[in-house]
Every structure is written in C-alpha cells, then in structure tokens.
Amino acid sequence: MGFKKGFIKLCFVLLIPLGLLLSYISTLYPETVESVYSKGLYKFIATPLNIISGLVPFSLAELLLISFVVFIIVKFVKLIIKLFKSPKQIKHTLIHSLLNIVVCVSVLYFSFIVVWGLNYQRLPFSQIAGLKVEPASVSELAEVCEKLLDQAKELRKHVDENDEGVMVLHDGKQGALKRAYKGYEKASAVYPEFNGIYSRPKGVIFSEVMSYLGIEGMYSTYTGEANVNTSILDAPFPFTTCHEMAHQRGFAREDEANYLAYIACKYHPDKDFQYSGMLYALIYAGNALYDNDPDRYSELRKKYSDAIERDLAAIRTYWKKYETPVQDFSSSVNDTYLKVNRQEDGVKSYGRMVDLLIAEYRALEG
C-alpha cells in the first residue's frame, strides 16, 4: 500500500471519532441542532434524496441492501481464495482487508450522523408542540385509556372487515401507501415541522423476511425512504406507515415517531387511518395501565368491543407465527442501536409515547 493511499484510508478511519465527537457535542446544544440542523441542513439534504427515490416505485433501499449483501459475499469468497493462493501473505492480506472494512464502516457511520442521525439530539417534540409532559397519576392514565377506547370503538364501526370480522383497508395496502401523506398534510397546518418534499412510503418485496425479524417498517437514512412491511395485517399498517414517515420528516426518537404516527392518523381524512392510529394509541396506553394497575386494566378490557377484540386477536395470531430466535436476536440488535443513539431505555422507550398522549389529553381538557 502506497503512502498516499494509506494516508487517505487513515483519514477515512478518523471519521468514526469525528462522528462520535459531533454526536456528543450535539447533545449539549439541542436548540442549535433543532434550528440549524433539523430545520435547516437536514431539510436541504432530505429534499434531493426524496426527489431521487421518488422517481422509482420500488424501494431503492431494499435494492441497495441486497446488492450490498451480494457484494460482501463476493468479496469474502475472493478473500478466501486469495488466502489459499498466497499463504505467505495471510497477515498482510488480513490487515489490508480489515482496514478496508473499518474504512467502509467509518464512511457509513459518519454519513449516517450527517445525513440523519443528529436528529436524535433535536428538541423533544413535546417542547416543539408546546405540550407539558409531567408525571401522571394512574387515575389520569385510566381516563386517557377510556377516552381512547371510546374513540376507537366509534371509528371501528366505520371501517371495512373481512369474512372473519377483522379490519381491512378499503383499497388495500398499496392504496394506503398512496393515501398516507394526507395525514401529515393536514397536520402540517398545526405542526409546520411536518412540511417538506418527501417521497411516498414504499412496500418491501421481502416483507416476510422482515416479519421473521420482528420488523414492521424501516426508515432508510441513505435513500430517504419510509419502507413498510406489507405482510403485516391491515389494522397496524397505516400506523406503521406513518411511523416510518415521521422518521422521514426528521423525528428520530422511536417514542416520538409513535406519537407522530398517531397524530398523522388522527388528522387523516379517512376512517381506516384514524382507527389504526387510535387503536395503537390505546394499545400503548393500555399496556402502561396494565403495568401500573392490572385491575383497572382488566376493567377497561371488559369494555372493548367485539370488533376491536377480533382485530387484536388477529394481530397476536399473526406475530405468533414468526416467534423465532432470529426475531429475539433482531430485537436485541434494535435495542443496542437505540441505546447507542442515547435512547437509554432501549426498546422500552416505546412506552414513553404515553407521556405525550397524557400531555395532549391535558391540553385538550384544559
């Protein structure tokens, strides 16, 4: 390896500590991140990405991922062949290959931080929306659950269902993907942070694989695409789609993306989207109530309509098919990813959506 080439690779390797430093500094200045990055630089980066990815009807991220996997396999096979052909050069070959891997990881990591990752350090959505998040009593949580249940029961009356009595989207999942933008479009009148040019969400061809990994959707940082698992049931589909669209709009925290998905569904003009958002808000709030007061949750559960119970039973049955060690491993990886990006509660951070639901309830009641 020549000196110049080696120096260039060393510079690329230094992108890892540079990215870590940039990420750490951003935690100290969330207001600056919000005004300069999330509302400024990120919009400038996301717009061309979304324009390009919006030119094709399929997921560019999925194509790139498959190509990357093939590339890795080919390079690995070539490495093995080279090691057998030149056993005396094993040490040099391995060091050279390891350096190339580190360079690749460095570029990907730094790109992730600059292109999207700094959004983890933006201001909390509660502060952006002027919602006062404070500790709540169990009684107040129960009241929120009751309100969500009443709305979910009413909305459930206005959606289609199949022969088994389970909720279905009136125009299928592809139709739902095309309609999804309407929720954020309506909500942007209240939350201007939702404005921008974004490609429509896309279904993933290998959705079954995502189900085995326990993944309902995934945002692609490098293409700006909201990718959705099209094999999941219809009831969670609008909520999941809007969740990934929240990431697309620069809201990185999982708990906030859940709340924004609920907001987008709530503002959506179509009842199936509204029901999906309300159902999942009820699920999250209900889980919190169960954790804190199982007896009250039991009383609440008795008030669920038969239609809602059918939907929930169908969702449980669906995911039971995919309970494998692979899904457990995928969950562990996701948990680690969240912690690395300073969501210290890991997967449990999804439950914090309830704080925003309670804050919204207080604002509306007040």
Give tens-digit pLDDT for 79-96: 888 878 777 777 777 888
Contact 156, 305 (CB under 8 A): yes
Contact 265, 132 (CB under 8 A): no
pLDDT, one tens digit per residue, over 253-296 is 999 999 999 999 999 999 999 999 999 999 999 999 999 999 99
How much is the mean pLDDT over the chain?
89
pLDDT of residue 97: 83
Query: Over 80: is that where the pLDDT of 28 sits?
Result: yes
pLDDT of residue 1: 52
pLDDT, one tens digit per residue, over 121-146 is 999 999 999 998 888 889 999 999 99
Alpha helices in the chain (DSSP H): 3-13, 15-28, 30-32, 42-53, 60-85, 90-115, 125-129, 138-156, 172-179, 181-187, 207-212, 237-248, 254-267, 271-292, 294-301, 306-320, 325-340, 353-365
Between CA 359 and CA 60 the distance in angstroms is 38
pTM of the model: 0.89
